[in-house]
Each structure stands twice: as structure tokens, then as C-alpha cells.
Chains A and B, each alone.
Chain A
Amino acid sequence: MSALLHVDNIGKRFYGFVALDGINLEVQPAERLGLIGPNGSGKSTLVNCICGTLQNETGSVHFDGKVLDGLAAHERTHRGLARSFQLPRPFHSMTLADNLRIPLLYTVRAREGMLHAHGDLAARCHELLQMVGLADKAKRLPRDLTQVEMRKLELARAMAAEPKLLIADESMAGLSHSEVDDILALLLRLNERGITVILIEHIMSAVMRFSQRLAVLVSGKKVADGKPEDVVRNPDVVRAYLGQ
């Protein structure tokens, strides 16, 4: 299987409510996939199942040639999967720099088995904070940040895990045009280095500019999957967004 990520017919219910209904999805290495859909369509549930935060009831998830089912979320992160949360979940008692040290300590170090010298870690944290424009706030606590800054921290923390596949879950909500451009540029740079990116967004202009391929989720089902310009003209997709 040449696909980096292969989501094979996964299903998930919450006490009778079907959140995911037989989702099939493939993501190629170094691909830029956009994932869109109305609110409540199951995008975050899908991410949760891929990353192990939730366990899918049916189907399986394959990553980098291996099956992920049964693996805890932290093990999936060790294998190269990283995600940001839709509602930012920073570690409140730690500074921004320390927030970024956690993935470095627990994922990168665990994976590489190398001992990062103290200075190395600090430099890497600084570099990441600079990439998202938060370097001057390195010693602050998350509660001192604005909502927008917290989203950037969220993204930086996902990047700190040095993933093969990064899932950015609505990282751009509330950002200004130029800030959106900055994040997009950042994600594109990551992609150029070979990191596969799944972008989940509502800001259509960003999604269209960024994605090589677009998948659409509606009510737990995938209704479209293909080139962005084709998908937006798909009548099912139009109907889902604009109503009958």
C-alpha cells in the first residue's frame, strides 16, 4: 500500500447516533488534503478515530503500512501522527516554551532514542515559536494568550512532535487575512519538507488555495473526494452547504 494513511471503512456511534458511517479515505505521502463539511458532519470524530483519542467500532486505520487499531493515542503520535485540537487544549500550568517541550521530550526523544542536550531543546522550542509568531511570549502562560494565539500554540505543539502526517483542525478560525496567509505559508513550507498535511477548515479560500485534493464529509458519510475544482461543483456538496 503506497498510501501513507488508509482509513478503511471506519464507523463510530455515540449511543445510537451514527457519527461516522463507513468512511474510506486515502492520503498519499506529502499530499495536501483538505477536509471540509458542515458543522457536526463528523470531521473531528474522524480525526479522533485516526489519532486514537476515540476508538472506532468498525473498520480499521492503517498508517505507514501498519494497522493502528488498539494502539493508544500516544503510540500513534510516536509513529508520526500529530494533530491540533479544534478547541485549543494547552497545558495551563506551563509556559509556552514548556508546552512545546512536551512533544519534544516524549515523542521526538522517544522515537529517536537520542538525548537532546538541554540547549538543543530550548533552541528547537524557540524556532517553533518563531514560526508561529509567538517567540516573544515564550515565558508566558497560556491564560495570557488570545484565542488566536492559542490556536497558533496548538499548531506549534503539533509540529513539535515532528510528524509525518499533521492534521490541522480548524487552526485558522478567527485569524485575519494576513494571519491566515502566514499559517498557510507555514503549512506549505512543512509540506515542501515532505510532511503530509490534512487541513480541516471552514475558510474556503484557504482550503482551495492549499489543497491538492478535497474530501467532503456530510452527516458522517464521505460524499465527495477529488480535485478541489471538481468537488466544489459537485451537486451533493452544494446541496449540503446551501440546503435543499
Chain B
Amino acid sequence: MNTTAFSLSAAAIGLALLVVAHWLGVDYLYFAGYTILQFIVLATAWNILGGYCGYVNFGSAAFFAIGAYSSVFWYKFHPLPVPVLIVFGAVVSGIVGLGTGYLTLRLRGAFFSIATLAMAVVFQTLVVNWDYVGGSRGAYIIRPESLEVAGLTINYIEYLFALMLVLAVIALVTARAIERSQLGYGLATIRDDELAAEACGVPTLRLKLIATTLSGAFMGMAGAPFPYYIGYLQPQSAFGLEYAVNSIAMPMIGGTTSWLGPLIGTLLLGSAQQYATVTISSAVNLLIVGLMLVAFVIIAPNGLIGLVQERLRARRRS
């Protein structure tokens, strides 16, 4: 299936989901659905750099929060429509991704990863000290009740859900397109053997920077609507642990070599967590995610998709 066909199919599925959700009209579905869609974007974004290219980003929370806080900034300065905020968040996070990459990607992958970890701490420090966006006290975002679109009045949360759905579709389509393109091949060679890739003529630094920028941009996009979703944004929640671990656990458990992996991983892990947070505590929920990450990394390094592929290959050979 080529990219155009896939985009249309994905868009159709997305539209169908929207219609069904609207018809069901249950607010909780919008809230839960938004979170899962947001993680689909984050996991897919992480995977472009982590799974396809082999460079581990531990600072997903920072890129996410940059998107969120740039929205807070505009809210205080001069409120803009959320779609514009999304674009702005993408640009700022993308630039930060490019900058971090430029400073550290000429060295080993390990240094890039450490830099992303440290970066998360630093951005949190910057935000905590920036009173204009609320600092450590946090910022209140008052979201409208509803919105007029094409003559229809929609619930605001439904609007946010729809936006995140569009982002998720765009992210998945982009990831799949990259996977099948020359860029995707290039990223895979960097992951497999960067030295050999260079010897074959692959411009590794350029490709890595592209991946870092794209990945950062998508994460910023996912973060931009967040203040409107949550109403009250504090650095602890924007930079929270769950973003760092989930954006790594979801692709690694689902499978890192394909666009399908982050999607499956998010659907499974995301729904499980929605359930667990309500029934058990959120800390136990995070513990389980962490343990699953460690277990999968040791036992099933290519995730669920990898396990399925192994089964198929074994069957084909016998």
C-alpha cells in the first residue's frame, strides 16, 4: 500500500472514530482517548529517533513540556487558536531537537542520551524559574466550554480529542513514510552500523539531525494542547516521569522497527494504565510499566512485533 493510500485509509479510520465518539457522547471517552492518542504521538515520535535510528532520547518530557509551556506563554501573552499553538510548539521543539543534536550527535550515541537526560532537568529548572509562565506555582488555563465549527457547536474536550486524533494520524503516516523511504534505509544503517554507513556514503550526521528535529517537533506538537486539556499546568506534571518512561516503554514493548510497534504498544500499555490508575495507584502503575520495560528489553528486544516476526520466520523455514 503506498503512502497516499495509507494516508487516506488512516484518515478514514480517524474520521470514523470521531463520528462514533460523537455519537456515543461520553465525556470520559474523550478524556481517556486524548491521553492515549497523545501517547501514540509521543511513542511514534520517540521511535523515529530511537527505533529507526538507534539513538535513545531520555528527555521526551522536555520536548513535550516545551510544547506545553510555549502554549502557556501565548495564553498569557496573546491567546492563539490551538492549531496555531501546535505548529508553534512543533517549531520550537524541533529547533531544540536540532540544537541538542548538533551539539552531541557527532559523538557517541551514549553522550546524546545522557545529554537528553540532563536536558530534561535543565528545562525543568528554566521553567520553574520563569515566573511569567507560573514557575513552580503553576499556571491556570481556562478553556472555553465549547467551540463553533462549521455551524456545529462542539464540546471543547471533543475538539481537543479531534485535534489529537489528527496529530496521531499525521504522526503514524509520517513514520510509515519514513520507514519506506530512502531516509528510512539510511536511519536503519546508522542503527545497524554507523561506521559502515559512513563508508557506504550515508551522510550520517545530516540524517541524525533530521530524525532528532522531526522527533522533537512531534513531541512538541503533542504537548501544545496539553495545558488546555488539563487546565492547570505545573512543572512536575509537564515534566513528569510518566512521559519519559512511557515514550520509551511503549515503542520498545510494541516493537521498534515499525510504525505499528508504537501504536500497538501505546494501545496496550495506555489502556492498561488508564485502567490501573483508576483501580490501583498511579505510582504502582508506573512501577509496572518500568518493570515491563526492563523485562521486554532483556527477553524480547524487538518487542511484540519482533516476537510475531520470529514466529513467522520460524514457520516459513520449517
- List residues of chain A with CB under 8 Å of any chain B CB: 51-53, 72-75, 77-78, 82-83, 85, 89-94, 98, 101-103, 105-107, 110, 157-158, 160-161
Q: Are B199 and A53 in contact (CB under 8 A)?
A: yes
Q: Are A110 and B201 in contact (CB under 8 A)?
A: yes
Q: Are B196 and A89 in contact (CB under 8 A)?
A: yes
Determine if B246 is an interface residue (Cβ-Cβ < 8 Å).
no
Residues in B whose Cβ lies below 8 Å from that of A77: 198-201
Q: Shortest beta-carbon distance, B179 to chain A, in Å?
A: 12
Residues in B whose Cβ lies below 8 Å from that of A106: 182, 186, 200-203
Determine if B205 is an interface residue (Cβ-Cβ < 8 Å).
yes
| Partner of B195 from A53, A82, A105, A158 at Cβ < 8 Å | A53
Q: Are A74 and B201 in contact (CB under 8 A)?
A: yes
Q: Are A53 and B198 in contact (CB under 8 A)?
A: yes
Determine if B193 is an interface residue (Cβ-Cβ < 8 Å).
yes
Q: Are A73 and B199 in contact (CB under 8 A)?
A: yes
Q: When A89-B193, A90-B193, A105-B182 are in contact, do A73 and B188 touch as well, CB less than 8 Å?
A: no
Residues in A whose Cβ lies below 8 Å from that of B185: 94, 98, 101-102, 105
- List residues of chain B with CB under 8 Å of any chain A CB: 182, 185-186, 188-189, 191-193, 195-205, 257
Instruction: Identify the closest chain A residue to B302 (Cβ).
Output: A93
| Partner of A92 from B192, B200, B202, B204 at Cβ < 8 Å | B192
Residues in A whose Cβ lies below 8 Å from that of B201: 74, 77-78, 102-103, 106-107, 110, 161
Q: Are A157 and B200 in contact (CB under 8 A)?
A: yes
Considering the chains assembled together, what is the distance between the CA atoms of A90 and B196 in angstroms? 7
Considering the chains assembled together, what is the distance between the CA atoms of A82 and B201 in angstroms? 9
Residues in A whose Cβ lies below 8 Å from that of B202: 74, 102, 106
Q: List 18 A-B contacts (CB under 8 A).
A: A53-B198, A53-B199, A72-B203, A73-B198, A74-B203, A82-B199, A89-B195, A90-B193, A91-B188, A92-B192, A94-B189, A102-B189, A102-B201, A103-B200, A106-B186, A107-B200, A107-B201, A160-B200
Residues in A whose Cβ lies below 8 Å from that of B197: 74, 91, 102
| Partner of B198 from A74, A92, A105 at Cβ < 8 Å | A74
Considering the chains assembled together, what is the distance between the CA atoms of A91 and B202 in angstroms? 13
Residues in B whose Cβ lies below 8 Å from that of A89: 193, 195-196
Considering the chains assembled together, what is the distance between the CA atoms of A74 and B200 in angstroms? 7
Instruction: Identify the closest chain B residue to A51 (Cβ).
Output: B199
Residues in B whose Cβ lies below 8 Å from that of A75: 203
Considering the chains assembled together, what is the distance between the CA atoms of A51 and B186 in angstroms? 19
Given A51-B199, A74-B198, 9 more pairs with CB closer than 8 A: A53-B198, A73-B195, A74-B203, A91-B196, A93-B191, A106-B202, A158-B199, A160-B200, A161-B201
Q: Shortest beta-carbon distance, B293 to chain A, in Å?
A: 21
Q: Are A74 and B204 in contact (CB under 8 A)?
A: yes
Residues in B whose Cβ lies below 8 Å from that of A90: 192-193, 196
Considering the chains assembled together, what is the distance between the CA atoms of A98 and B202 in angstroms? 14
Considering the chains assembled together, what is the distance between the CA atoms of A189 and B203 in angstroms? 30
Residues in B whose Cβ lies below 8 Å from that of A73: 195, 198-199
| Partner of B200 from A52, A72, A93, A102 at Cβ < 8 Å | A102
Residues in A whose Cβ lies below 8 Å from that of B205: 72
Instruction: Identify the closest chain B residue to A92 (Cβ).
Output: B192
Q: Are A85 and B199 in contact (CB under 8 A)?
A: yes
Considering the chains assembled together, what is the distance between the CA atoms of A101 and B182 in angstroms? 10
Residues in A whose Cβ lies below 8 Å from that of B196: 85, 89-91
A-B pairs with lowest CB-CB distance, top 7: A107-B201, A73-B198, A89-B196, A106-B201, A77-B201, A91-B192, A103-B200
Residues in A whose Cβ lies below 8 Å from that of B192: 90-94
Residues in B whose Cβ lies below 8 Å from that of A158: 199
Instruction: Identify the closest chain B residue to A101 (Cβ).
Output: B185
Residues in B whose Cβ lies below 8 Å from that of A53: 195, 198-199
Q: Are A93 and B198 in contact (CB under 8 A)?
A: no
Residues in A whose Cβ lies below 8 Å from that of B199: 51, 53, 73-74, 77, 82-83, 85, 158
Q: Shortest beta-carbon distance, B175 to chain A, in Å?
A: 17
Considering the chains assembled together, what is the distance between the CA atoms of A157 and B200 in angstroms? 8
Q: Are A93 and B195 in contact (CB under 8 A)?
A: no
Considering the chains assembled together, what is the distance between the CA atoms of A235 and B204 in angstroms? 45
Considering the chains assembled together, what is the distance between the CA atoms of A170 and B53 in angstroms? 29
Considering the chains assembled together, what is the distance between the CA atoms of A98 and B200 in angstroms? 12
Q: Shortest beta-carbon distance, B262 to chain A, in Å?
A: 17
Q: Shortest beta-carbon distance, A109 to chain B, in Å?
A: 9
Residues in B whose Cβ lies below 8 Å from that of A83: 199
Q: Which has the most chain A C-beta neighbours within 10 Å: B185, B201, B257?
A: B201
| Partner of B189 from A52, A72, A91, A160 at Cβ < 8 Å | A91
Q: Shortest beta-carbon distance, B105 to chain A, in Å?
A: 13
Q: Shortest beta-carbon distance, B317 to chain A, in Å?
A: 10
Q: Are A72 and B191 in contact (CB under 8 A)?
A: no
Instruction: Identify the closest chain B residue to A98 (Cβ).
Output: B185
Q: Shortest beta-carbon distance, B121 to chain A, in Å?
A: 32
Residues in A whose Cβ lies below 8 Å from that of B204: 74
Residues in A whose Cβ lies below 8 Å from that of B189: 91, 94, 102
Instruction: Identify the closest chain A residue to B186 (Cβ).
Output: A106
Q: Are B182 and A93 in contact (CB under 8 A)?
A: no
